[in-house]
Amino acid sequence: MNSAPFRLAFVSAFTLWMGLAASSQTDSLPAQVVQVSGLVVTGDSLSPLPYCTVFRSRDRRGTMTDARGFFSLPALTGDTLEFSSVGYVSQQAVIPEGGELARVNLVQPMGRDTVAMKDAFVYPWPSRERFRQDFLALGLPNQGLDPAWDSPMDPMDVYDRLSEVGRDGQSTSSEVLAAQAQQVGYAGQAPPVNLLNPVAWAQFLQALKSGDLRRQ
């Protein structure tokens, strides 16, 4: 009986099995943990890009670049790092083997992301009076926010309400500055007496006739 074909078949099968075993053993080797450090820069001027998000696509965990564009994080060989920043196109980088030191250094440029917006057309009114007419013609409803706007108001009631409103910061500061300027102007001398001032007497008589003194 010729056993040569049988031996050849056995050797071929054994070689194939050894190859498959070696391949499966190589694939089952754990990935190397490396420390990835690098710099993220802009693609046009190569300036450091601060606060850029850097994370692993595998588990969506990562870090952020500092104010100088530097980052550092651990990863596995073969991992994909994603770089994302507002106003820039997102980039990806595959981590190679780190060698004996288990370190990988890289510089990642980021291109600017240009967003095209639709055209905006501005149509101004030809005059302020035309704007006033169009605005009044809108007839905006009150929507029940303040019923007082639906009824006519007494002018005296409006005046009493305004008199109860305190001064704002601008009017108060203007009065203080005017008083300080008057003190500086009359420094070293007695201030004038308005008893003989005709303008002051005219203002007093006008206030007396209009009833401003009675309201106070």
Superfamily of domain 33-110 in the CATH hierarchy: Carboxypeptidase-like, regulatory domain (2.60.40.1120)
Distances (CA, A) of 89 to 52, 95, 147: 11, 20, 54
**pLDDT tens sequence across 69-124:** 999 999 999 999 999 998 899 999 999 887 778 899 999 999 998 878 788 777 77
Strands 103-110 and 33-42, bridge-based pairing:
parallel
Residue 66 has pLDDT above 60, yes or no: yes
- Reported as a pLDDT band with limits 50, 70 and 90, residue 160 is low
pLDDT, one tens digit per residue, over 44-62 is: 889 999 999 999 999 999 9
3 state DSSP class of 20: helix
The answer to whether the beta carbons of residues 38 and 105 sit under 8 Å apart is yes
> Which pLDDT score is estimated for 73?
93
Mean pLDDT lowest among 24-28, 86-90, 177-181, 189-193: 24-28
Is the pTM higher than 0.75? The answer reads: no
